[in-house]
A and B are shown apart, each in its own frame.
Chain A
Amino acid sequence: MFAYVIRRTIATVPVVAIVAVFVFSLLYVTPGDPAAVIAGDLATAEDIARIRARLGLDEPFLVRFAQWAWAAIGGDLGVSIFTNQPVTRMIQQRIEPTLMLSVCTLVVTVVLAVPMGVIAAWKAGTWIDRAIMAFAVLGFSVPVFVLAYLLILGFSIELEWLPVQGYTPLSAGIGPFLRSMTLPALALGIVYMALIARITRASMLEVMAQDYIRTAEAKGLFQDKVLLGHALKNAAVPIVTVIGIGIALLISGVVVTETVFAIPGLGRLTVDAILRRDYPIIQGVVLLFSFTYVVVNLLIDLSYTLLDPRIRY
């Protein structure tokens, strides 16, 4: 087991390294002078020269990459072209709202979607099943910003139950915090919910066709015990795997959700950086998000032994 943990952890290093090479070299594979591209259409020759110097474009590619990668390992992601602040510090200032939004969304999603999938599988073929699956297809189809605006229109403007936009930190009290998080978490979570509900239903159906489920039923166990104790427990591995893979949807959605709800997090930082072509920030954020995604999926891989004692390494 311990050897597996080490091996699996080491296996993520090349993946992260490839992401780093990719994110770094993007700037150089695009046609034209990267400094001119970043500076934009209104730049003077002086601006371009300044950006060239900032990015160290006059040195050979490998030297630059080595310097950049070495600094990144030490937590230094370079300096923003626009604000002149270290990228790491800008990320630190913005990370809290994004982290809170992601955690809230994850909780809401798992708490709602897994029972939905279980019920759909339990009532397979009935109208309850169809309604839940219809919801799942809709969830895949309505883009996050459209849903976000519809939620704001309904719950904030018509009903005036929840704030329209903005972020209230947890330090301002749990009530206001939850109120400001409700709509963003719902909007962001819907695709994710659709995905998890679908997979939960599918893997539950597969498990429920097994002989031991029939045995449990024949023993006269109550249905809830069979469903939760036998079926869900055995269906857990694919469900948890999809929760991990779905983090990619969550990260993609964060950028949009924060824009709609004016939440000052990493997503906003990214969007502002795009509009100013502040590439060091984009590099830093992409690297951080990808790293998070890899680490989360590593942890999920390692959790399989806890979920299913039959899996051994």
Chain B
Amino acid sequence: MASITRTGPMKLPSERSKRGPLAVLRRHPTAILGGSILLAMVCVAVFAPFLGTVDPQKVSPIFRLRPPSERFWFGTDLLGRDIYSRVLYGTRVSLTVGIGVAILATAVGLLIGLVTGFIRLADNILMRFMDGLMSVPPVLLAIALMALTRASLENVILAIAVAEIPRVTRLVRGLVLSLREQPMVEAAIASGSGLPSILFRHILPNTIAPLLVQGTYICASAMITEAILSFIGAGTPPNIPSWGNIVADGRSVFQVKPYIIVFPGIFLSLTVLAVNLVGDGLRDALDPRLARRI
């Protein structure tokens, strides 16, 4: 490797002591920023009932479409519901969907990827199927699935995860195929290790770092997809306040009451940004080779 990599136009610290995940994190203040925002959002989600919110579903027609004020920090919507409360409770939906999809998609993708990486026959069949799935744009696939099921949070997570699984599968399969040829695996086979031991001791540990990075990006894109699905009316059911739902509710009056859309929009963008920054930080910390290139 050393003979190929030459110092390019980028200036990078060359001392070995500056390697290691923690040192990289220190060199990436943006990752810390992202982590802090994310932590704040998790706190908002957990402590939503104690942050000066009222029942986010409570309809009060007398207070319809109030602009932001001391009483209604983010104003009220068409039905007189408090947008501040709705946005804060919406954090729960977004984080649940993001984390849920990330875990589900990486777990299933890992499983299928391991199988396809080791069994030729399964590889041929499953990868053709994955190629097909991958040629359907993810949001469209989720829309098609949601059109057929009853709107619920579980179904949203399931629909978005199905769209993300092929990408994880492909990543894991590629990793397994290259790891299989490594000397350490050859040595393990030569010393008489069985398949389970090779899988758990040599293959799995080496897939964790790339999967963690991929999982973070999946989390970010799942939050956007959830908001898109809710926005077009095919996502989280209307009785659960999600950021996409709040924006969808404000759509008809947005020219005169833009705040209904602006507040959930800011929260959504900020959270996705935070997750993306954490993902970039993780990628740089866990894969120094890639970090040098990008």
In the complex where A143-B268, A146-B265, A149-B261 touch, is A282 in contact with B144 (Cβ < 8 A)?
A: yes
Nearest CB of chain A from residue B275's CB, rounded to whole Å:
8
Q: Which residues of B contact A286 (CB under 8 A)?
A: 136, 140-141, 143-144
The A interface, classified by DSSP as helix, strand, loop or mixed, is: helix
CA distance A202 to B8 in the complex (A): 12
> Pick the contact of B135 from A140, A208, A293 — CB < 8 Å?
A293
Bound CA–CA A164/B202 (angstroms) = 57
Enumerate chain A residues within 8 angstroms of B277, measured Cβ to Cβ.
137
| Number of residues on chain A facing chain B (CB within 8 A) | 64
Most chain B beta-carbon contacts within 10 A, residue among A26, A145, A290? A145
Known: A208-B9, A270-B143. A143 touches B137 (CB 8 A): no
Point out the residues of chain A lying under 8 angstroms from B231, CB to CB.
145, 256, 259
- A38→B274 CA distance, assembly (Å): 39
B289: CB under 8 A from chain A?
no
Q: Are B224 and A143 in contact (CB under 8 A)?
A: yes
Q: In the complex, what residue of chain A is closest to B258 when comparing beta carbons?
A: A153
What is the CA–CA distance of A35 and B198 in the complex, to the nearest angstrom? Answer: 49
Q: Which residue of A has the minimal Cβ distance to B277? A: A137
Which of A16-24, A88-96, A177-185 lies at the interface with chain B? A16-24
Distance of A255 Cα from B269 Cα, bound (Å): 19
Interface: A300 (CB within 8 A): no
- Do the beta carbons of A149 and B228 come within 8 Å of each other? no
Supposing A14-B128, A209-B9 touch, asked if A282 and B143 sit within 8 A by C-beta, the answer is: yes
* Contact A202 B224, beta carbon cutoff 8 Å: no
Q: Given known contacts A137-B276, A251-B140, what 8 new A-B pairs fall within 8 Å (CB)?
A: A19-B135, A145-B227, A157-B255, A201-B294, A209-B9, A256-B228, A273-B147, A274-B143
Question: What are 26 A-B interface contacts by the 8 Å CB criterion?
Answer: A15-B131, A26-B148, A125-B10, A137-B30, A138-B273, A141-B220, A141-B269, A141-B276, A149-B262, A149-B265, A157-B255, A205-B10, A249-B137, A251-B140, A252-B139, A252-B140, A253-B139, A255-B139, A256-B232, A271-B232, A274-B233, A274-B234, A277-B147, A282-B147, A293-B135, A294-B135
